[in-house]
Amino acid sequence: MEHSKYRIYTVMAVMCAAGLVLIGQLVRWQVVEHYRFVAWAEAEHQDELVIPSRRGEVRDRSGYLLATDLIEYDISVSPKIVSDPPVTADRLDALLDMSREEILQRLTSKKPWVPIAGGVSQSVGETIFEWDLTGLQVEPRPKRVYPEGHLGAHVLGFVNNNGNGFYGVEGYYDTLLRGKPGLQAGERSPFGEMIPLAVSHFVPPVSGATLYLTIDRTVQSLVQQELENAVRQYQAQGGSVVVLDPKTGAILAMAGYPDYDPNTFSVSDNSLFADPNVSEQYEPGSVFKIITMAAGLDAGVIGPEGIIYDGGLIEIGGRVIYNWDRQGHGNVDMTDVLAKSLNVGAAQVAMALGKDRFYTYVKRFGFGRLTEIDLENEGPGTLKTPKDATWHESDLGTNSFGQGIAVTPVQAAAAIAAVANNGLLMKPYAVQRITNGERSVEVKPIVVRRVVSADTAHTLTNMLVNALKRANSQALLPGYQVAGKTGTAQIPVPGGYHPTLTLTSFGGYLPADDPQVMILVIIDRPSTSKWGSQTAAPTFNRIAEQMVVLLDIPPDDVRLAQAGQ
Amino acid sequence: MSSNTMISLRPENVIRQLPWRLDSKAALGFLLLLATFSLVGWLYLSQASAVTTTSYRIDELRVELDQLKNQNASLSLEIAELEALSRVEARARDIGFEPTTGFEYLPVTHYPMPLESEATLYGATHIESSIDAYAVEVESPGWWVEKLDAFAAWLESE
C-alpha cells in the first residue's frame, strides 16, 4: 500500500513538472518572445527588395564621357525547379559562350543553386530575362567602364566589383556618384512574387550625380603623351605633370607615369593606383627658391636689384651649404640667384628673413597642410618648423632651396600659381560642375588667402622671366614670355642623400604678363642627365608649345596687338 | 379537427399558406441587401482586378524603363568609344593628317570683330566688301580646306 502511494506521488510529480515545463514554454512563446515570433512570421511572407541605384557618370570639361556604368548580367539556376533542362540547355547554348553539355550539367546539378555565366552582355541578358524561364535567375550587375582607357586614370580612380570607388574623383565623390538605392517592400506569394493588393512600400532609387571635371581630355592626352615620351627619352623611372589655371585653381590636366588602365585595375600593380600628384611627396629642390624669393621680396628684406655676395658656401647652424656647382659667383643680384640657382643666395635670403618669418611665408603658401583638392588620398607633405623637436637651425638654410622639406606636386603647383595669380593662393579643384537630373551645381573657384602682395608677385614674375632668359633655358617658348624655375633635388635615402640619383622639375607659367596656364613637370630619377634644366625644362617647353595652340593662347605680340585694338 | 377547414391545393394558395412565408417587405429588404453586397463585391473585384493589372503593368514598365536606360548607357558608351582620342588620332593619321607644328600667327586687322554693330562702326560699304572678300575665299578652297572637309565627311560617315 505504501509502495503504491509512493508511485502515485511520483507520477503526479512528474506530470506536474511536465505541465510546468509546458506552461513555461507557452509563456515564453506567447509573452516573452512574442515579438520575435511575430517578426519571424512576418519575415516569412514579407519581402524587401533593394533596388540598386545607377552610378553617375564622369565627363571632362567639354562633356566627353570618361566613366560610365555598363550593365552586365549574371545567369544562375535553381536546378530543382527547372522544368525541362534539355530544352533550356538548347536555348541557352545558342546565346552563351559555353558548350551545351556544360550548360546541361549545371541545369541538372544536385546543388540548390548553381551559377551558369557571369558578365553576360546586355542584349544576351535581356533576351534570357524575357524568356522568363522557371528556375533561371538573370541578375543585372553594373560594370564601370572608362572609354578613354588610361586617359586621366589617376584623376578618375576606379570602382571595384562591389561598386565602391577608390582614388581620384571616384573615391572622393563616391557617395555622390553612387546615389541612393531604392526599396520595394511588401507581402510576397509562395512563389516569391510581390502580391499586388497587399500593403506595399516603394521608394524609387536615386541615380548618382554626374561630374564634369575641370580636366580637358585633349590637354590631358597631350600631357600624358609628353610625360611618357620624356620618361622614355631621359630613361627615368617615372614622372608627373600638373597643369592648372592659375587664376582659378582648376586642374586642366594631371598625369603620373607609369599609370594603369582603370578598366583592368584588378590586374594592375597596386602601387600604381595612388595619384603621385596628390599622394606622393618629394623634395622640390630649387623650384622652392620661388617661395623663398617671394617671401624675401614681400617682407622687404631684399629687392629685385639687391646685390649679395656669393662666396660659394655659407654656414648655417653648423652646416656648410654649397652651390650646386661648388663655385662662388661673387656679387650677384636676385635675378642671378634665380638664373644661376644659387643655394647660397637663397640661404642668405632665408637668414635675412629669420626663421619665424620664413616659415610663416612657407605655411601661407600652403606647405605642410592639405590643399583640400577634391581627389582622394591627398597627403600634406612634410614641413618641419622651429616648433618641432626635430627642427635644426641648419634646416632654415636647406629649406630655402627646397631641401629637407617634402611637398606634393599639387602643393608646389598651387604655390607657384599663387605668384602667377597676383599673390592669391587658389584652392586647386578637379570638378567644375555636378549635375543630378534637373539640378546643377557649379563649383566656384575659392581664394584660400593672399600669400604675397600683387606688387611682389609682379616683381617676382619679371625676375623669373629674366632669370630664364639669362640662363637661356630650354623652357623658353618663342613668342611667349615664360616665368619659371628649374629644380634638381637629391633623393633622400636612409642616412643622407643618394650620391647620383636626382628628381628634376620645372615649374612655370605663361604668358607671364597674363598667366593662362601653370605647368609643373617632375621627372623621377632621369638617367641621361641629372639636371632639371636638361630634362624637365625641355619637357615643359614641349607641353607648353602644344598647349598654347590647344588653349588658343596667341603669342604675346599678337595678343597685345589685339588687346590694343 | 374541424371538418370545415379547407385546404386548397392550388400552388399560389400552398405558397401563401406556408408557415415560413416571408413578409414582402422583408423580402424586398433582403433583395436590396443582396444587391448592395453584390454591387460592392463587384466593385471590389473590378477595382482589385484593375489594381492588379496596373500593378503588373507598372512592374513591366519599370523593367522596360530600366532596360531603356541600360540601352541608353550602352549607346553613350559606344559613342564615347568611337570618339575616344586615341581612336580619332589613329584614324586621322590613317587618312594623312599630321600633328600640327610650327604655328605662325598672323595679326588680322579688326579681328575679333567688335561687339558693336558693324554698320555703325564701318558703314554698309565696308561690310559688303568684307563679305565679297570672304565669298571669293569660299569659292576657291585651298588644299587645307579640302582636307578638313574630307575629314569632316569621314567623321559624319562614321
Taking CA–CA distances from B73, the nearest residue in chain A reads A70
As a whole number of angstroms, the distance between CA A458 and CA A94 comes to: 72
* Topology of the domain covering A67-147: Penicillin-binding protein 2a (Domain 2) (3.90.1310)
Bridge partners (DSSP) of residue A120 are: A73
Q: Rounded to whole angstroms, what are the CA distances from A12 to A1, A23, A24, A199, A249? A: 17, 16, 18, 51, 90
- For Cα atoms A314, A319, A321, give the angle at the middle one, nearest 5 degrees: 40
pLDDT of B158 strictly over 70: no
Place of cell 512570421: A41
Residues of A in contact with B112 (CB under 8 A): 562
What pLDDT is recorded for position A343?
94
| Max avg pLDDT among A115-129, A405-419, B92-106 | A405-419
In a domain, B56, yes or no: yes
Tell me the pLDDT band of B124, cut-offs 50, 70 and 90. very low
Tens-place pLDDT, residues A8-58: 889 999 999 999 999 999 999 888 888 888 888 777 777 788 888 899 999
Q: Which of A434, A444, A448 is nearest to A250 (CA)?
A: A444
What is the dihedral sign for C-alpha B112, B118, B121, B127?
positive
CATH class given for the domain over A217-564: alpha beta
The model's pLDDT over B62-85, given as tens digits with 9 standing for 90+, comes to: 888 888 988 888 899 999 999 999
Convert the pLDDT of each residue in A176-224 to its tens digit: 999 998 888 887 776 666 776 666 778 888 999 999 999 999 999 999 9
Contacts of A196 in chain B (CB under 8 A): 51-52, 55-56
For residue B32, the distance in angstroms to the closest alpha carbon of chain A comes to 29
Chain B contact for A151, CB < 8 A? Answer: yes
**CA-based nearest residue in chain B for residue A207:** B69
User: Which position has the higher pLDDT, A49 or A466?
Assistant: A466
Report whether pLDDT(B128) > 60.
no
B67: which chain A residues are within 8 Å (Cβ-Cβ)?
126
Looking at residue B104, its pLDDT comes to 73
Which stretch of A207-221, A534-548, B18-32 has the lowest confidence by average pLDDT? B18-32
Which residue among A145, A149, A194 places its CB closest to the CB of B86? A149
Lowest mean pLDDT among A135-149, A323-337, B80-94, B121-135: B121-135
Residue A161: what pLDDT?
87
Please report which confidence band the pLDDT of residue B131 belongs to, taking 50, 70 and 90 as the band edges. very low
A63: left (phi > 0), else alpha (psi -120 to 50), else beta?
A: left
Gap between the terminal Cα atoms of chain B: 112
Query: Rounded mean pLDDT of A265-286?
Result: 94
Q: How far is CA A399 from the centre of its chain?
A: 28
A366 Rama class: left (phi>0) / alpha (psi -120 to 50) / beta: left
Residue B147 lies in a domain: no
Tell me the mean pLDDT in the region A304-319.
Answer: 90
Q: Please indicate, yes or no, if residue B66 is contained in any of the structural domains.
A: yes
Output the pLDDT for position A565. Answer: 63
The predicted pLDDT at position B130 comes to 40
Nearest to A558 among B56, B100, B105 (CB): B105
List of chain A residues whose C-beta atoms are within 8 Å of the C-beta of residue B66: 140
Does B69 contact A555 at a Cβ distance shorter than 8 Å?
no
Residue A137 to residue A78: CA distance in whole angstroms: 8
Residue A362 has pLDDT above 50, yes or no: yes
Q: Show me where the domains of chain A are located.
A: 2-47, 67-147, 217-564
Domain assignment present for residue B79? The answer is: yes
> Does A562 reach chain B within 8 Å, measured CB to CB?
yes
Domain assignment of residue B65, given as a range: 12-83
At residue A214, the pLDDT reads 97
Contacts with B61 (C-beta within 8 Å, 6 or more apart), sequence order? none
pLDDT value at A515 more than 80: yes
Q: Compute φ and ψ for A239, nearest 5 degrees.
A: 180, 170
CA distances from A214 to A551, B136, B144 (A): 13, 41, 32
Location of C-alpha cell 561690310 = B127
What residues of B are in contact with residue A69 (Cβ under 8 Å)?
73
Partner B contacted by A122 (CB < 8 A): yes
Find cell 640657382 and name the residue.
Answer: A341
- Cβ distance of A196 and B52 shorter than 8 Å: yes
Please tell me if residue A218 touches chain B, with a CB cutoff of 8 Å: yes
Is B131 part of a structural domain of the chain? Answer: no
Distance from CA of A71 to the nearest CA of B (A): 6
Looking at residue B7, its pLDDT comes to 65
Q: Which three cell numbers stand for residue A332?
A: 650677384
Average pLDDT over residues A123-137: 87
Kindly state whether A389 is in contact with chain B, defined as any CB-CB distance less than 8 angstroms. no
- Residue A23 at interface with chain B, using a CB cutoff of 8 Å: no
CB contact under 8 A, B70 and A555: no
Chain mean pLDDT for chain A: 92
Taking the mean position of all CA atoms in its chain, how far away is CA B110?
A: 48
**Average of pLDDT values for B106-120?**
58
d(CA A306, CA A296): 11
Contacts of B85 in chain A (CB under 8 A): 148, 151, 217-218, 221
- pLDDT score of B154: 78
Give the residue among A298, A505, A309, A489 at the shortest CA–CA distance from A401.
A489
Query: Measuring CA to CA, which residue among A318, A335, A337, A387 is closest to residue A359?
Result: A387
- Report chain B residues whose CB lies below 8 A from the CB of A555: 105
Q: What is the pLDDT confidence band of residue B55, given thresholds at 50, 70 and 90?
A: confident
Name the pLDDT band for A456 (thresholds 50, 70, 90).
Answer: very high
Low-confidence winner among A41-55, A90-104, A146-160, A262-276 (lowest mean pLDDT):
A41-55
Q: Write the CA distances from A202 to A48, A104, A380, A505, integer angstroms.
A: 10, 38, 45, 57
Q: Output the CA angle A57-A58-A63, nearest 5 degrees.
A: 105
Gap between the Cα atoms of A43 and A32, Å rounded: 19
The confidence score (pLDDT) of residue A289 equals 96
- Looking from the CA of A69 toward its CB, the CA atoms found within 13 Å total 30
DSSP A562: H
pLDDT at B121 over 60: no
Give the DSSP H/E element, type plus range, for residue A212. strand A210-213
Beta carbon pairs, A and B, within 8 Å = 67
Put simply, the answer to whether B103 touches A68 (Cβ < 8 Å) is no
Most confident range (mean pLDDT) of A36-40, A289-293, A320-324, B140-144 is: A289-293
Query: Which residues in chain B are closer than 8 Å to A557, comparing Cβ atoms?
Result: 107
User: Distance between CA A57 and CA A378 in Å, rounded?
Assistant: 23
C-alpha cell at B92: 586621322
CB A337 within 8 A of CB A311: no
Residues of A in contact with B100 (CB under 8 A): 549
Interface residue of A145, A207, A542 to substitute, partner B, most B CBs within 10 Å: A145
Q: Any idea which of A7-11, A153-157, A169-173, A413-417 has the lowest mean pLDDT?
A: A7-11
What pLDDT score does A345 carry? 94
Residues in chain A within 8 Å Cβ distance of B81: 147
CA A342 – CA A401 distance, rounded (Å): 8
In this predicted structure, the answer to whether residue A65 has a pLDDT above a threshold of 50 is: yes
A517-524 vs A447-450, strand pairing mode? unpaired
CA A162 centroid distance within chain: 19
pLDDT tens-digit readout, A476-488 = 999 899 999 999 9
Asked if A69 is an interface residue toward chain B (Cβ–Cβ < 8 A), one would say yes
Q: Which residues contact A359 (CB under 8 A, 6 or more apart)?
A: A383, A385, A386
Closest by Cα among A336, A326, A226 to A289: A336
Q: Is there a contact between B66 and A68 if contact means CB atoms under 8 Å apart?
A: no
Tell me, what's the pLDDT at A81? Answer: 86
CB contact under 8 A, A561 and B51: no
Task: Tell me which residue in B51, B84, B103 faces A148 most closely, judged by beta carbons.
Answer: B84
Residues of chain A in contact with residue B51, where contact means CB-CB under 8 angstroms, are: 196-197
Residue A206 touches chain B, beta carbons under 8 Å = no
Contact A209, A434 (CB under 8 A): yes
Q: How many CA atoms lie within 13 A of A133 on its CB side?
A: 27
The amino acid at A168: G
Residue B57, in any domain of the structure: yes
Evaluate whether ipTM surpasses 0.90: no
What total number of domains does chain B contain?
1
From its phi and psi, is residue A423 left (phi > 0), alpha (psi between -120 and 50) or beta?
A: left
Tell me the pLDDT of chain B averaged across its residues: 74
Closest by CA to A310, choosing from A291, A323, A300, is A323
CA B14 to chain A, closest CA, distance in angstroms equals 50
Q: Is residue B54 part of a domain?
A: yes
The per-residue pLDDT for range A230-251, each reduced to its tens digit, is: 999 999 999 999 999 999 999 9
pLDDT confidence bin for B115, thresholds 50/70/90: low
Between A500 and A194, the more confident residue is A500
Q: In this complex, do A65 and B71 lie within 8 Å of one another by their Cβ atoms?
A: no
Query: Chain B closest CA to A64's CA: distance in Å?
Result: 7
